Amino acid sequence: MISIGITERGDAALTKEWHSWVYKNHQPAILITKDPRKLIKENRSLFFGEVKGNVILHATITGLGGTPIEPGVTGYKEQLSYLGECLQNPDFHREKLVIRQDPLIPFFIQDPEYQGAVIEIAKFARDNGLRYRISFLDYYNHVRDRFTKIKEQYPKWAVCINNQNKYQTDLHINHSLRESFLQSLINLGIPESTIEICGEPGMKCTGCISQKDLDIFGISVTETLPKNMQRPACACLGIKYELLNNKRPCAHNCAYCYWK
């Protein structure tokens, strides 16, 4: 059965562990990174002209780069500006690019700076006709502890974090908060039909590996593919193969990292 490589355990721009899968074995892969500029610059042959590998890039741009939430990540404006340049180039394979906002943090939405960034990124995807995926913060206990420390460094988020800590009962952000965040994206002109939601309970989800991805990879399958069992809300096909060995936060050092 076909396997699709994926880099969920870390950041594809910060490691070459996936190279042999893509360049040597010529296998399809979904590369996930918070530094799409670095990844594309260092692997131009995957994205321009007659490509030398079969990949889809998830450019994860949350709007929090450079803040205490993502201290090692480049700011979103620089990333969007570089991706904008790529999209101007007729040799660039735009179908390989997915804009991913992961995680969205609904309880920060009152912050105008964060709100502005989220909207700008979503509109960038819409205006360039790109695929757009979203997912919300998973508030693990160790993530909550890190956020609690951040509020001392970043007082503007103290009230949001205090309130969230008071009412949070689960790993997932409250369903109505997630729904109202989604609704505000739709109200701002992001067509609902273009939003792919990743692994969110109680919401209609599209897997990281779906029929759409198989079509872009040029893979046709006749057998019924298994469903991924990673978590109950995951809608991925069960044909993904993790390409990274990482088991700790990478150099981006995100506060919400699921690695402890």
**DSSP annotation string for 123-146:** HHHHHTT-EEEEEEPB--HHHHHH
Q: How far apart are CA 117 and CA 73, in angstroms?
A: 14
* Contact region with ligand SF4 (CB under 6 A), list: 39-47, 129-137, 148-156, 246-254: 246-254
Which amino acid, residue 27?
Q
Which amino acid, residue 87?
L
**DSSP one-letter code for 251:** T
What residues contact 181, with CB distance under 8 A and at least 6 apart?
104, 106, 109, 136
Q: How many residues bind ligand SF4 (CB under 6 A)?
A: 10
The tokens describing 14, both together, are 């910060």
Task: Compute the least distance from the CB of residue 241 to ligand SF4, in Å.
Answer: 18
* Contact region with ligand SF4 (CB under 6 A), list: 44-52, 87-95, 192-200, 248-256: 248-256
Among 6, 11, 59, 80, binds ligand SF4 (CB under 6 A): 11
Question: Which CB, 17 or 179, lies closer to ligand SF4?
Answer: 17
Q: Residue written as tokens 């450019």?
A: 59
Question: Which CB, 167 or 258, lies closer to ligand SF4?
Answer: 258
What residues contact 57, with CB distance under 8 A and at least 6 apart?
30, 31, 33, 36, 39, 40, 47, 96, 97, 98
Site string for ligand SF4, 101-140 (x = CB under 6 A): ----------------------------------------
Question: Which CB, 8 or 179, lies closer to ligand SF4?
Answer: 8
CA distances from 81 to 60, 61, 104, 167, 241 (A): 14, 12, 21, 38, 31
Question: Which CB, 10 or 106, lies closer to ligand SF4?
Answer: 10
Site string for ligand SF4, 164-203 (x = CB under 6 A): ----------------------------------------
Among 42, 226, 259, 260, binds ligand SF4 (CB under 6 A): 259
Reduced to 3 states, what is the DSSP secondary structure of residue 69? Answer: coil
Footprint (CB under 6 A) of ligand SF4, residues 25-84:
34
Residue 60 Cα to chain centre, angstroms: 4
Task: Compute the least distance from the CB of residue 182 to ligand SF4, in Å.
Answer: 22
Determine contact, residues 46/23, Cβ cutoff 8 Å: no
Among 10, 68, 106, 207, binds ligand SF4 (CB under 6 A): 10
Q: Which residues bind ligand SF4 (CB under 6 A)?
A: 10-11, 34, 249-250, 252-254, 257, 259
